[in-house]
Amino acid sequence: MSSTTLYGGVSGRRVTVRDLAAAKERGERWPMITAYDAMTARVFDAAGIPVLLVGDSAAMVVYGYDSTLPVTVDDLLSLTAAVVRGSSRALVVADLPFGSYQTSPGQALESAARFMKEAGAHAVKLEGGRRVVPQVEALVSAGVPVMAHLGLTPQSVNALGGYRVQGRGEAGDELMADAKDLERAGAFSVVLECVPADLAERVTASLSIPTIGIGAGAATDAQVLVWQDMMGLTPSPARFVKRYADLGAELDRAARAFADEVVGGSFPAPEHTYS
């Protein structure tokens, strides 16, 4: 992988956490996109996206909940397995859902082991700062690569008082300390969600591991978006989302055209019919 770029490169093998570390050393930015099924995973993988995240955002965009909290390990296992089967190059990261790792390092390892053994995930992601350092240490010691997540942590939305920008003022110093603690614990990267751009820039400069921004400005080492948000399927996306397509409108157009042809009797036509 070192002879090619991380994004869009061709290597004949999966991207690894070492490749991500090497990209940081080269100053090379890279994209991460969520995926929840084999077909979209195949598309994103073929497009050269080096990291696919099976996020607990599936609670909302797949299962229809109004937050990430209700989704379970069993809910995400089948989605993760599908993404692994649908991809051949991307590093597949599985979110550890709420309630699957907070109790103890042992619980975290048990949950992560299921994602690695049953779904074929290559890494896991968990939310929180210093309070989850023991979990990160236990997972890394067991050979599980860990992506950390700071700032707006959706699993803690009730404690945070809603979906709000995090890390302003003195809270920025706490986030910086959390990031350094997670790096020392062995996390291979850290997501920074909804934090001031200047704070994200300082955290990125202070860490040797990659930072992945979502609503954190342009200075992070990587960027991640939920694919339904960036493709125009979400009615009211967050401010940090840029729409790269309007699949919602296209799906609506296609569904109406199909329905009109069925009602009018023009579909199926002779070319769609067996003699």
Residue 176 pairs in a beta bridge with none
Whether residue 137 lies in the annotated active site: no
Count Cα atoms within 13 angstroms, Cβ side, for 271: 0
Here the tokens at position 165 are 């920008």
Q: CA 198, CA 61: separation in Å to the nearest integer? A: 30
Count of other CB atoms within 10 angstroms of residue 244: 12
Provide CB contacts within 8 A for 94, sequence distance 6+. Answer: 54, 76, 80, 115, 119, 121, 123, 124, 125
> Which one is catalytic: 127, 183, 193, 201?
193
**Residue 35, CA distances (Å) to 63, 76, 79, 211 in order:** 14, 11, 8, 20
Cβ atoms 111, 101 nearer than 8 A:
yes
What does each C-alpha distance from 269 to 81, 253, 255, 260, 272 come to in angstroms? 38, 20, 17, 13, 5
* CA distance readout (Å), 168 to 161, 177, 191, 194: 15, 14, 17, 10
CB 200 within 8 A of CB 192: yes
Catalytic annotation, residues = 193
